[in-house]
Amino acid sequence: MLQSLPVINQPLDHPLLDEKGIELAIKRLDLVHPELSGNKFFKLKYNLEKAALDGFEKVLTFGGAFSNHIYASAAGAKAQNLSAIGIIRGERIDPLNATLSYAESLGMDLHFVDRAIYRLKKEPSFIKSLSEKFGAFYLIPEGGTNGLAIKGTAEILQPDDKKYSHIATSIGTGGTFAGIYTSLVSSQKLLGFSALKGDFIRKEIDDLLKDFELSGLGSFEIFSQFHFGGYAKYDQQLIEFIWWFYESFGIILDPIYTGKMLSGIWQLIDQDYFPKGSKILVIHSGGLQGNIGFTERTGIKLPSLSA
């Protein structure tokens, strides 16, 4: 099984926190593994273990051209001595961006399909056609969310984390949110920050909890207003916040998930959403490899691991 490095909770010190009587710490999942960082480590570890135990030699999954999941799946498969196939939405454009170039360098076999075909990724007939083309494979869904992923993300919180009153995480496909929810104690509230525009995410989370028969002792709330225009959208305010956060605390954020979440948390603190005495633990879900690709696409420089 994949082995993680020790995960630290990094406390933040800032006048606003002192003024509001708030404790805020970041769980640095971005440091959990040299290549397979963030929540992806937890979402993939049991899936990759099962693939090997069930005798599969290859895994297949789906993602976009800048997908953290594709990047992590390539690294995880290589670490487990498995072959990997990535079904990528869109046309191949050479030279490949940093995300896909990295995945291919690790041996992932990239296959590009148009958006109409990509939308069939959950259809049994399409999966069967992939099996006929590539042979037997272990299927990992787009974003990695399934029962084994939730089992993994339920391990993100540690016994010492029971002291926190609020746990905050970004929401994409919902697997990390669902896993953390099952591991709350009764005094804790989970805050989910959707990276997607629209209130549909609440129903998706409810369906996810129902489909996998998940329950928790704590409570939760989902915020859908901090998306900055929608998935992968951004504005100058978000870019400035990410730079401010890095310069203030030395922690790199990404513009898809963690930057939007922390911006939302900072606004909620300023607006007195959190009662005085609250202790907030924010899950840093990694995804920092995407900052290089963001700069490639937009020309806007962000703090990055290569800086």
Q: What is the pLDDT of residues 39-55, one digit of tens each?
A: 999 999 999 999 999 99
Six token digits for residue 91: 């046309």
pLDDT tens-digit map of 57-95: 999 999 999 999 999 999 999 999 999 999 999 999 999
pLDDT tens-digit map of 194-252: 999 988 999 999 999 999 999 999 999 999 999 999 888 999 999 999 999 999 999 99
Q: What is the pLDDT of residue 80?
A: 93
Q: Is-contact 45 26, C-beta < 8 A?
A: no
Distance separating alpha carbons of residues 234 and 231, to the nearest angstrom: 9
Tell me what the mean pLDDT of segment 6-23 comes to. Answer: 97
Residue 213 neighbours by CB under 8 Å, 6+ apart: none
pLDDT tens-digit map of 184-193: 999 999 999 9
What does pTM read for this prediction?
A: 0.94
Q: What is the pLDDT of residue 37?
A: 86
- Other CB atoms within 10 Å distance of the CB of residue 282: 26
Q: CA dihedral in degrees (139, 51, 82, 293; nearest 10)?
A: 50
Q: What is the pLDDT of residue 92?
A: 96
Six token digits for residue 123: 């259809």
pLDDT tens-digit map of 257-300: 999 999 999 999 999 999 999 999 999 999 999 999 899 899 99
DSSP 33: S
Tell me what the mean pLDDT of segment 141-159 comes to. Answer: 96
Distance separating alpha carbons of residues 52 and 48, to the nearest angstrom: 6
Q: Is-contact 132 18, C-beta < 8 A?
A: no
Let me know if 58 is exposed, middle or buried by CB neighbors in 10 A (0-12, 13-18, 19+): middle
**pLDDT of 34 over the 90 cut:** no
Q: What is the pLDDT of residue 232?
A: 86
**pLDDT of 306 over the 70 cut:** no
Distance separating alpha carbons of residues 261 and 165, to the nearest angstrom: 17
Distance separating alpha carbons of residues 130 and 104, to the nearest angstrom: 19
Q: What is the pLDDT of residue 4?
A: 83
Tell me what the mean pLDDT of segment 134-148 comes to. Answer: 96
**pLDDT of 160 over the 90 cut:** yes
What region does 277 belong to: left with phi over 0, alpha with psi -120 to 50, or beta?
left
